[in-house]
Structure 1
Amino acid sequence: MTLKLEQINAASVAQFVALLDGTYEHSPWIAERAALLRPFASLVQLKQSLAQVVRESGRELQLGLIRAHPELAGKAMVSKTLTAESTNEQSKAGLTDCTPAEFAKIQQLNADYNARFGFPFILAVRGPRGLGLPKAEIIASFERRLHNHPDFELAECLRNIHRIAEIRLNDKFGHMPALGNQVWDWAERLSTNSDPGYAERGELTVTYLTDAHRACAQRLAHWMKSDCGFDDVEIDAVGNVVGIYHGADRSAKRLLTGSHYDTVRNGGKYDGRLGILVPMACVRELHAQGRRLPFGVEVVGFAEEEGQRYKAVFLGSGALTGHFDMAWLDQKDA
């Protein structure tokens, strides 16, 4: 049964809790408290209200929420006592079909993680598209997070719990986050460009004015023009990708936003780039609906911020704001 906002807004508290059963693992108290925050005008507001309840609940209840979750490929999976939601998620990630070596590795990681932090490792294993993360990526995340500070890791577990709840709510409401999926798809495709020496190891590194860097600029410019409907798109002299979507009055002032598309060495797919891709998606929607705002929108993909190739930073924004130091042109590779 697909849920409707009208249905949950009209439900009694007990019915509301029952309808949202399984959203937060074995923790009906979250829905019970969120019921008092009705009515919800949107699915987004419902998600935010549930997260607010957790955020304001205090450390002990937050720890209880984390500990209510099963280990990945753990005892509950083996004994087939996982909830239907957890079974679905671990199955999509292939954790119900581990090789003996993978199973042994994850079991050891579970033990090490619990010994260090006192709560189970939580990861939204369905991933950004809800289709399931590769097991190798899950194991790599496990190994990396073992070295985090306990306070950071508690926050990371809660962040992943909210992501799990978001995906489960999308399922309950039959909601497909098309815009979010578009942004993730762009980010994935952009991450296929990486500098030599890193690409071969599956690492993302895009430093200023390399072939990978130029390829990223060309892709962003193409998407802005062909996919999003920006009116004017250019790659300027320093490599900034600039897209302009005019307002109803073409002479109106413009809202400028953006971020950088270069990376640190072995960087993340989303650092900086989400600040370009999200406003691109907004313009895409405006264009698709034939809407013009009272002001224009200017999105800039800044060519350089990280200072990884030359001993200078903010080359892209420096050029845009008139603070480009011409002495930077004499820089050699760092």
Structure 2
Amino acid sequence: MSGGAISEDGGELLAKLNAAPRGDFIAMLAGVYEHSPWIAERAWDLRPFASLAALKQALVRAVREAGHEQQLALVRAHPELVGKAALAGDLTPESLDEQGRAGLAHCSPEEFAQLRDLNAAYSARFGWPFILAVRGPRGTGLTRGQIIAALERRLHNPDDVEFAECLRQIHRIAEIRLNPKFGFEPALGNAVWDWCEALAAHSEPEWAAKGQLTATYLTDAHRACAHDIQSWMLDCGFDDVAIDAVGNVVGLYHGSDPQARRLLTGSHYDTVRNSGKYDGRIGILIPMVCV
């Protein structure tokens, strides 16, 4: 399984960025961060970048090391979802594409009214616009229902938690905008996401009926997860994989030297009642993609 290296054209772009004068560098990254060229300007000082990941980290660092007022200006530079800028046709090309992929241009009257009211409540509550990477974890777009649910949920966050979440979403938006410029597809990250989604389909019936995830120890849902994980481990290249008598999925990768010292990792794939999709399971899936 490939991690998704940047394309040949992406490698050339990285070389050009490393060699570019400050003004050209800023212009080449225009639109990555909404109306905020100062981020690229500060990242220019951190060249050269050995990889796309190094460039992303430099941009994140530029924001992290900025003062709160500049970070707040960055947050406020973003448009509301289906807000005044969208209705007036004043979105940047990047924002227009992202909101379009999420189907926000096709809101029903009820959805539009709900988003308008939620945006107003959010702005009054925090003093900045609600920010969400509406293209979602796979870059294909969240549904309007998912967007509305996220807005409703985050309205109840403490101010500092929500501000940090806005910055995290901004960096996610920037990453989604950068990847195609470099011909990069995050194959391993997508695999982990898909595995989490597949495991979340195994939920005990009474909880599944409510749209909730519960897979407690040695239930049918738990056993189904074990068989999926076993199959994926084999696909990843583990040499030996077995499910033991108490439900542990044990995978062994020999590597090129069977006598080498072994690294042991482990986590749980059972859940509490009405759980999230990632707790525990990420600790299994990340080592799998490393193999």
Please confirm whether the aligned pair reaches a TM-score higher than 0.5, indicating the same fold. Answer: yes
Alignment of 1:282 onto 2:290: yes
After the TM superposition, which residues 262-301 of structure 1 pair with which residues of structure 2 at under 5 Å, given as runs?
262-283=270-291
RMSD: 1.3
Gaps of 5+ in 2: 1-8
Partner of 2:260: 252
Q: Which amino acid aligns with 1:205?
A: T
Partner of 1:49: 58
After the TM superposition, which residues 1-334 of structure 1 pair with which residues of structure 2 at under 5 Å, given as runs?
4-225=13-234, 227-283=235-291
Paired residue secondary structure (2:250): strand
Determine which structure has greater relative contact order: mean sequence separation of CA pairs < 8 Å that are 6+ residues apart, divided by chain length. Answer: 2
Percent of residue pairs identical? 67
**Cα deviation, residue 114, structure 1:** 0.8
Distance 2:274 2:133 in 1: 22
Paired residue secondary structure (2:264): strand
Encode CA deviations 1:147-170: one digit per residue, 9 max, x unaligned. 111100001111111100000000
**Cα deviation, residue 140, structure 1:** 0.8
Paired residue secondary structure (1:197): helix
Distance 1:262 1:86 in 2: 39
**Cα deviation, residue 254, structure 1:** 0.8
**Cα deviation, residue 265, structure 1:** 2.2
**Cα deviation, residue 190, structure 1:** 1.2
Structure of greater Rg: 1
TM-score, length basis structure 2: 0.94
Between 250-259 and 151-160, the greater mean CA deviation after superposition? 250-259
Gaps of 5+ in 1: 284-334
Question: Greater share of strand residues, 1 or 2?
Answer: 1
Matched length: 282
Distance 2:101 2:89 in 1: 16
Paired residue secondary structure (1:60): helix
Paired residue secondary structure (2:266): strand
Encode CA deviations 1:187-209: one digit per residue, 9 max, x unaligned. 11111111112212221121111
Paired residue secondary structure (2:57): helix
Paired residue secondary structure (2:139): coil
TM-score, length basis structure 1: 0.82
Distance 2:34 2:272 in 1: 37
Paired residue secondary structure (1:260): coil
**Cα deviation, residue 238, structure 1:** 2.1
Distance 2:215 2:166 in 1: 30
